[in-house]
Structure 1
Amino acid sequence: MFIEERKLKNGTLSYRYGESYKDPLTGKNKKVYATSSKNTKAIHKEMQRILSDKIETILNGANHKQQMTIGELVDEFANSERGIRKVTTQRNIDKYAVIIKKWFNGDIIATQLKAIHVQRIINQKLTELSWSYVKAAYGYLRQSFKYGKRMGYISNIDLFDDVVLRKPSKTPEQLQASRNKFLTKTELDTLLSLVDKKNHRVATLFKFLSLTGLRIGELRALRTQDYNAKEAYIDINATLSQKNERLTPKNEYSARKVSLGEPARKILVEWLQLNHTRKQIVQNYNNPDNYIFVTDGGQPYDIQFLNKLLKSIPFHKHVSTHTFRHTHISLLAEANIPLKTIMERVGHNEPKTTLSTYTHVTDEMKEQEQQFLDTLSV
């Protein structure tokens, strides 16, 4: 033990007692301290006890971290940036933390986890669940172990280099379903006509989605002040969760200005006028944020309600609110709009996302191709 004497501003003396120890995680020498206003043999003995207790606590904590279970690691990672992460991100992490502890025995010591164990679990789950679901859960497991390495709990996470996620081959039915994620212009007109017979306002909402390519959360978050009538664009600066929480956009590329054509502008004007009338005559109208696409009571339309309405329509394709976003970009591709322009309009930063998900060749484009080939001569 060593003692440092210090003179305080009021002229009195203070004594800082210290002791050195080796950090078992880093191998480096560190120190702990305790302070007293006295320097006697009795105090020396007490300070030695206090410092020894501090070192023991630290070493026990370090040993505990070295013996950390998968469950403890996953939970600590989930809580490590709570309050800093986006709300939706934190919810996903909390959800997958539960899943990981269920799939992998949460009592297994993290440092004892082997690639073969992970591989067997992943392979089993791929036979039971969707590729994207398993991939997401596995991704959070890897993130938890990367966090453990950063914190010094785990020295090596090379086991993940030996784990392979093989994407199952799609069946003919699945391939066809992927091509049916969008509607042709004719199909869109037919569907909107059927919806209009059930609910005119919702039909115009769906039409606006197909004219702009917005995500449903972005549309629900759209406010009166986000519409620039003079320059004919809408400012996409938020998304609305299913619990009606106003959150930041999905990513930095999702914050954007979307230009509007005349049909889309007419729909906005119709809704703005309707909301003005509602505010005057509906007794319990409550829309303090000035959201545009709202019910008679002023609340943003519920996503489940919208999808349930779509499900009730007799139609030959499975359709959801996201189908209109797919449709918008497919129509842009069909019109030969440049890929970069499409990406900026819908808030994508990766070309492969747009290409692999949206720009399927529609039947109309195939017909145009055939007509061209019939007239092609060399």
Structure 2
Amino acid sequence: MWIEKRTNHRFKFVEQYKDPLTDKYRRVCVTYNRNNCHTRKQAHLVLSKRINQRLIVAGNQILKPKITLVEVVHQWLNYFRPRVKFNTYRNNVSRAKHILNDLGNDTIITRINSCLLMNYFDNLFYVHHYKNSTVQKFRGTLNNIFKFAMQHRYLNRNPLNNVQINYHYNFSRNHLERNFLDDEELKAVLSYMYQRSPHYGRFCEFLYLTGLRYGEAASLYPKNIYPNSHGQVIAAVRGTLVQGKKQPSPKTTESIRDVVLPEQAIQLCINEMKSHDSPAKFVFTSDRGKPLGNTVLNTWLHHAKQDLRIRKHLSLHTFRHTHISKLAELGVPLYLIQARVGHKDAQTTKEIYLHVTKKAELILDNKLDQL
């Protein structure tokens, strides 16, 4: 700091600093009537405060030193993990590993541009043959990584903003019927699962009759099945099963719901609980009282697909889609179906609904000539 004497016995206290945006030196000053120990101390405090404020504003526009993609991903995953459900975190970890493998661990994050990302998404479509929905999930993971990088000043803009992904036109609709079973296929698959194990058969049939997700049905306690005030027996969905343990909340807020059980679903629960020598913790369990594992069930469904020669996608989630298609076939309004299966605004539910109702309209149109 230096002092310049002004006219009328006034003194200008001046300090110099380097602007990080321009690398040029700039000045700040303050004027007092006296030049003594007190005013010099006061001027130093005021000038330091002004310089710090300017440096903070400039610093917010300056990127931190160059950082690699792998470093950002690891930081983001540590930030992300306590904020989401376990399965959400695990799926993002899997996609992040894939992204790092394709884009390169040592890639400097500021060098990632829209051209590189468009080529990457094309690679997901035409090399890995991923579906639209899968590529959308990869885009979501990348978007979260870039947003995190912007918050920590590793990036000053999101490179995804200018990326136009060339999704397959009507890909999911052209293959929509592969997502759910017709009556004959459903009967054959359930019979196959009952032959493997009555526990497997009852569980899969329960999924079809209720539209519950695997984790929602597998985590049901006996106390979660009870009559409501209208005398209907419901399944109170209040959690999900993750690695054999019940989590306190299901997939989304909309997933917390009461699902009315048809008579057959009630009987399945009764038969399942009666099948155990001693009371089990969960409604649906193995002979040893353990929760039914989705890996084992999906493996047997894969065998069923091959043995029964079913040319459709077949997994535990197929029963949920089949439930939606059956409700649509019965004329249940879309908003009621969405509420029942715990979807606020799901594209798959809408597409199945529209597909089934349009098919029903076609059948009606063909029968009008018979009047």
TM-score range, shorter chain: 0.7 to 0.9
Q: Which residue of 1 aligns with 2:333?
A: 338
Distance in 1, matches of 2:225 and 2:127, equals 45
1:328 aligns with 2:328: no
Q: Which residue of 2 aligns with 1:315?
A: 308
Cα offset, 1:78, TM superposition: 1.4
Q: Which residue of 2 aligns with 1:306?
A: 297
Q: Which residue of 1 aligns with 2:6?
A: none
Between 137-146 and 340-349, report the one with greater CA deviation: 137-146
- Map 1:150-161; keep pairs closer than 5 Å: 150-157=151-158, 159-161=159-161
Per-residue CA deviation, residues 290-314 of structure 1 (Å, 9 max, x unaligned), is 2110011110111122122223333
Q: Which residue of 2 aligns with 1:133?
A: 134
Contact kept in structure 2, 1:69 and 1:109, CA below 8 Å: yes
* Aligned CA distance change for structure 1 residues 69 and 308 (closer, same or farther; 3 Å): closer
SS at match of 2:191: helix
SS at match of 2:81: coil
Q: Which residue of 1 aligns with 2:203?
A: 205
Distance in 2, matches of 1:310 and 1:294, equals 18
1:163 aligns with 2:163: yes
Cα offset, 1:217, TM superposition: 1.3
Q: Which residue of 2 aligns with 1:92?
A: 91
For 1:102, give the aligned amino acid.
N
- Map 1:1-378; keep pairs closer than 5 Å: 65-129=64-128, 130-131=130-131, 132-157=133-158, 159-169=159-169, 177-229=175-227, 231-244=232-245, 246=247, 248-275=249-276, 277-279=277-279, 287=280, 290-313=281-304, 314-317=307-310, 318=312, 319-350=314-345, 352-357=347-352, 359-361=354-356, 365=360, 368-370=363-365, 372-375=367-370
TM-score (norm 2): 0.74
Distance in 1, matches of 2:339 and 2:142, equals 32
Per-residue CA deviation, residues 22-63 of structure 1 (Å, 9 max, x unaligned), is 8959x9xxxxxxxxxxxxxxxxxxxxxxxxxxx9xx9x9x98
Contact kept in structure 2, 1:330 and 1:362, CA below 8 Å: no
Contact kept in structure 1, 2:149 and 2:155, CA below 8 Å: yes
Per-residue CA deviation, residues 82-122 of structure 1 (Å, 9 max, x unaligned), is 32322222222322222222111232322222221222222
Cα offset, 1:127, TM superposition: 1.1
How many residue pairs end up in the alignment?
Answer: 318
TM-score (norm 1): 0.73
Distance in 1, matches of 2:219 and 2:112, equals 44
Per-residue CA deviation, residues 2-34 of structure 1 (Å, 9 max, x unaligned), is xxxxxxxxxxxxxxxxxx988959x9xxxxxxx
Structure 1 gaps, min length 5: 2-19, 28-54, 280-286
SS at match of 1:258: strand
Cα offset, 1:258, TM superposition: 0.1
* Aligned CA distance change for structure 1 residues 155 and 271 (closer, same or farther; 3 Å): same
Cα offset, 1:373, TM superposition: 2.4
* Aligned CA distance change for structure 1 residues 163 and 76 (closer, same or farther; 3 Å): same
For 2:257, give the aligned amino acid.
R
* Aligned CA distance change for structure 1 residues 81 and 324 (closer, same or farther; 3 Å): closer
Distance in 1, matches of 2:292 and 2:212, equals 15
* Aligned CA distance change for structure 1 residues 185 and 352 (closer, same or farther; 3 Å): same
Root-mean-square deviation (CA, aligned residues, Å) is 3.5
Contact kept in structure 1, 2:219 and 2:241, CA below 8 Å: yes
For 2:341, give the aligned amino acid.
V
Q: Which residue of 1 aligns with 2:36?
A: none
Per-residue CA deviation, residues 214-239 of structure 1 (Å, 9 max, x unaligned), is 11111111111111145410101111
Cα offset, 1:177, TM superposition: 4.3
Distance in 1, matches of 2:350 and 2:358, equals 17
Contact kept in structure 2, 1:310 and 1:320, CA below 8 Å: yes
Cα offset, 1:248, TM superposition: 2.3
Cα offset, 1:342, TM superposition: 0.2
Distance in 1, matches of 2:259 and 2:110, equals 49
For 2:303, give the aligned amino acid.
S
Between 216-225 and 318-327, report the one with greater CA deviation: 318-327
Distance in 2, matches of 1:64 and 1:348, equals 40
For 2:273, give the aligned amino acid.
L
Cα offset, 1:322, TM superposition: 1.4
Distance in 2, matches of 1:98 and 1:352, equals 27
Distance in 2, matches of 1:222 and 1:21, equals 66
* Aligned CA distance change for structure 1 residues 237 and 74 (closer, same or farther; 3 Å): same
SS at match of 1:322: helix
Contact kept in structure 2, 1:184 and 1:362, CA below 8 Å: no
Cα offset, 1:64, TM superposition: 8.3
